[in-house]
Structure 1
Amino acid sequence: MNRYSVNDRNIISVGYDEMNKTLEIEFKLQAIHQYFGVSLDEFVALMKAPEIETHYFNYVYCQYYFDVD
């Protein structure tokens, strides 16, 4: 999965696998979380958000099952 670098204080990069609907977020604390069942629209909304971390906490973290890689 390709990840895209983002300008955020706690998130380094964000990636998305459209076929598997998996969102991957790399944090500065050396953790990578994979979120499952995430729509392409949600990925696009996250990437367009003025504050990625705020959008992540409000719309991804509390909505989707995740696993730590």
Structure 2
Amino acid sequence: MNRYTVNDRNIISVGYDEVHKTLEIEFKLQVIHQYFGVTLDEFVALMKAPEIETHYFNNVYCHYYYDVD
């Protein structure tokens, strides 16, 4: 999965696998979370958000099952 570097306080990069509907977020704490069942619309909204971390906490973190890679 290709990840895109983002300019955020705690997030380094974000990636999305459209086939598997998996969102991947790499944090500055050297942890990668993979979120499952994430729609393409949600990925696009995250990437367009003025504050990616705020959008992540409000719309991804508590709404999707995740695993730590």
Normalising by structure 2, what TM-score?
1.00
**Secondary structure at 1:23 match in 2:** strand
Q: How far apart are the structure 1 equivalents of 2:8 and 2:62? A: 19
Aligned to 1:45: 45
Unmatched 5+ residue regions in structure 1?
none
Q: CA RMSD in A?
A: 0.1
Aligned to 1:54: 54
Q: How far apart are the structure 2 equivalents of 1:43 and 1:9? A: 19
CA shift, 1:3, in A, is 0.0
1:10 matched to 2:10: yes
Which aligned segments of 4 or more residues in structure 1 are displaced greater than 2 angstroms?
none
Q: How many residue pairs were aligned?
A: 69
Aligned to 2:64: 64
Q: How far apart are the structure 1 equivalents of 2:57 and 2:20? A: 22
1:14-59 CA-to-partner distances (Å, cap 9, x unmatched) read: 0000000000000000000000000000000000000000000000
Unmatched 5+ residue regions in structure 2?
none
Normalising by structure 1, what TM-score?
1.00
Q: How far apart are the structure 2 equivalents of 1:17 and 1:31? A: 18
